[in-house]
Structure 1
Amino acid sequence: MRITQGCFSFLPDLDEEQIKAQVEYCLRNDWAIGVEFTDDPHPRNTYWEMWGHPMFDLKDAAGVMMELNACRKAHPDVYIKLIAFDSTRGFETVRTSFIVQRPKVEPHFAMTRTEVRGRTVNITLTERA
């Protein structure tokens, strides 16, 4: 089972030109770009590590790609995603995020549904090798 978090997660992985096009779209909308990474893609892990600082004043996609490639070099076998913040109303809101790197071997999860009292369903998510 492939990890599906963020935009484009059900599509094939984006290539470099497609990633750059998405970054350019975000920058045209005045959204700040951030790079995050993790080795724990569990769906409840919403706090990925931030690579550097969000790039609030950056206007060129080449700068984002440079930071992304530096993160890839430092962390070659983890999940990396780009996030875009919109701060036009005075608070940060994530407008989009998408995975740009996956490890060679992704963990697999099994989901078990158990019916209990009434119409309640308990869901257990476990990692499989």
Structure 2
Amino acid sequence: MRITQGTFSYLPDLTDEEITAQIAYALGQGWPCSVEFTDDPHPRNSYWEMWGLPMFDLADPAGVLYELNECRKAYPGHYVRLNAYDARYGRQTTALSFIVQRPDAEPGFRLEREETTDRRVRVRIHPYALDRPQGERYP
């Protein structure tokens, strides 16, 4: 299963040159970038771990790509994504977000069905990755 979250999620993985082009576009729009990582890509897990601080002062795509590659080296078996923020609305609004690294094997999700009162049925999404402890979810 391939996790589909963020922009470009249905496309093949982007190369470093394509990622650099997207970073350049974001910086050209005045959107600072940040890098995040996780081993729990559940759709409701919007709080990934942040790699350093948002890069408000960087204007060169090479600096953002450097931080991105450092995160990739530190967490080779995790999901890593790049975010770009648009502050025009007076709050931190994500203008662009996409996954730049995935684990070699993505186990996916299962649906858990529960019958409740009055013949109601509830369905929950359970990621197979959560069957293992944090930090050991992907080989």
Name the residue aligned to 2:52.
Answer: 52
Q: Distance in 1 between matches of 2:128 and 2:81?
A: 23
Tell me the distance in 1 between the aligned counterparts of 2:127 and 2:52.
30
CA positional deviation for 1:124? 1.8
Q: Which runs of 5+ in 2 are unaligned?
A: 130-139
- What displacement does 1:127 show? 2.9
1:43 CA displacement: 1.1
Quote the Cα distance in structure 2 between the aligned partners of 1:103 and 1:76.
Answer: 7
Relative to the length of structure 1, the TM-score reads 0.89
Aligned match of 2:14: 14
1-structure distance, mates of 2:41, 2:83: 15
Q: 1:62: how far off?
A: 0.2
TM-score, reference length from structure 2: 0.83
Gaps of 5+ in 1: none
Distance 1:115 1:29, change over 3 A: farther
2:100 paired with 1:96: no
CA distance in 2, matches of 1:18, 1:111: 35
Equivalent residue, structure 2, for 1:125: 125
Q: Give the deviation of 1:97 after TM superposition.
A: 0.3
Matched position secondary structure for 2:11: coil
Q: Confirm whether residue 24 of structure 1 aligns to residue 24 of structure 2.
A: yes
* Alpha-carbon offset, residue 87 of structure 1: 1.1
| Residue 62 of structure 2: aligned partner | 62
Letter in 1 for 2:8: F
CA RMSD across the alignment: 1.9
More strand by share: 1
**1:13-55 per-position Cα deviation (integer Å, ceiling 9, x unaligned):** 1111110110000000000100000011111111000000000
* Structure 1 segments (4+ residues) deviating >6 Å: 113-116
Q: Amino acid of the residue matched to residue 109 of structure 2? A: F
Q: Deviations over 1:70-115 (max 9, x none)?
A: 1011111100000000112322111010000001111211235678
